[in-house]
Amino acid sequence: MTQCDCNSEKESLESQVKALKDLIEVAKAVVSTLDLDTVLQAILTSAMRFAETPAGSVALYYDAKRELSLHAHSGLTADFVKKERWEVSAGGLTEQVLRAGEIFYIEDTEETPFFNNPIALNEGIRSLVCVPLIFQERIVGILYLDDFAPRQFDREKLNLLSILASFAAMAIHNATLHKQTKLLAITDALTGLHNHRYFKQYFRQEMARAKRYHKPFSIIMMDVDDFKSYNDTYGHASGDRLLELMGELILQTIRNVDVAFRYGGEEFIVLLPETRLEQAVLAAERLRDSVQNGTAARLVEGTNRGVTVSVGVASYPENADKMDELFNIVDSLLYLAKRCGKNKVYHQESLQIPTT
C-alpha cells in the first residue's frame, strides 16, 4: 500500500469518526428535552450543521388532513415562511417523499423538471434534501435542508441523516405525548375548555403582563340561566350535552387570542388580552347571542327557545388595577345580571355602580 493510499484511508476514517461524533451530538440534542418547539429547533439546527446547509425547516405532517404545518425554520426569508400550513400537492416533491418514505434530494432545482414550486424557486433554493421523520412506520414530519447553490450531497452523510431522522421522529413522538399530557392536565374533559386550575394561573400571568406593558385587559364571566331546571326537565345527560355545546359555541365565537375556561359547574370565563371594556362588551354580546341561537338550533328538537346566559364584563385598568378586585367586580356583575332578569350583559359603565 502506497503512502498516498494510507493517507487517503486515514482521511476517510477520520471523516467517518467525525461524522459519527456529529451524529452523537445531534442525537443528544434531540433527546435532551420534551418541549416540542425546542425539540424541533434542535433537530433543525443540528441537521443543518451536520449536512452543512445554510437554511432549512421542519414541518409536522397530519395524515388525516394530508397537511403540513411549519414549526421550525432557519436561514429563510419572512415571505417564504409566512405560510404556516399547506396541503400536500399532487405530483410534488413532498408527495414523493411521503409516498416513498425515504430521503430524497435534488442537486439542482433548475435542472429538475418536476420541481416547480414557485415559492422555493423565488427564494433561490437550488439544492435540497428532504428527510421523512418516521416513527413506527408513520411519517410524523419532514426535515428540509436547503442550499442556495447547486451542489453534490455526500452519500455517506445522507445515510447517516436517516439515523438522525429516527432519533428525531422518536423525539417528536415523545414531545407530542408530553404536550398532550400537559394539555389534559389543564383541560376540562367535558367542554374542551381550560379548567379552573389553569384559569387562576393564566389570569395572574395575563394581569401581570397587562401591567408590565401598560395594556388593557378584560374578563367576561357568564353563567347558564336556569341550568338546574334544564337538568330536571331533560335529564343529566342532556345537561352534559348542553355544557359540551357551550364549550363548542364559546370557542367558535371568541378570537384566537382570547382564552376560554370552564370555571365550575355551568360558569364560564373568557380572558381577552389587550382589549378595552367597550370591545369586551361587544364580545360578550356576541357570546350571549351565540349561546341563545346555537342552543336553540342544536339542543332540543321541536323547540326554538335557546338556553340563555347572564354575563358580567370588567376591564383593567378601567374598573380595577388588582386581580382580586377585577374578579370580584365581574363576579358581582354576573349575579346582578341574573337577579335583574337574566339573558343580559352587565358592566359597570352601563350601570354606574361603585367599584367598592
- Return the axis-axis angle of helices 155-185 and 3-30, rounded to nearest 10°: 10
* DSSP label of 111: G
Order the strands of the 55-62 sheet from edge to edge: 85-87, 67-74, 55-62, 138-147, 127-135, 104-106
Separation between Cα atoms, residue 117 and residue 68, nearest integer Å? 15
Compute, in degrees rounded to 10, the torsion defined by CA atoms 69, 186, 251, 256: -50
**Cα separation, 138 vs 71, whole angstroms:** 18
Q: What whole-number distance in Å separates Cα of residue 89 and Cα of residue 93?
A: 8
Query: How many beta carbons lie within 10 A of that of residue 170, not counting itself?
Result: 18
Which residue of the set 9, 95, 107, 266 is catalytic?
Answer: 266
77's enclosing H/E stretch is: none
Sheet harboring 345-347: ordered strands across?
259-264, 267-273, 217-224, 309-316, 345-347
Sign for the CA dihedral angle at 117, 118, 120, 121 comes to positive
Among residues 109, 117, 103, 116, which one has the least CA distance to residue 149? 109
Which H or E run contains 185? helix 155-185
CA distance linking residue 68 with residue 86, whole number of Å: 6
State the cell numbers at 220: 367576561
Q: Quick check: 313 and 277 in contact, CB under 8 A?
A: yes
CA distances in angstroms from 247 to 121, 153, 189, listed in the order given: 44, 51, 10
Say how far residue 156 (Cα) sits from the centre of its chain: 36
Catalytic residue check, 266? yes
Any idea which residues carry the catalytic annotation?
A: 266
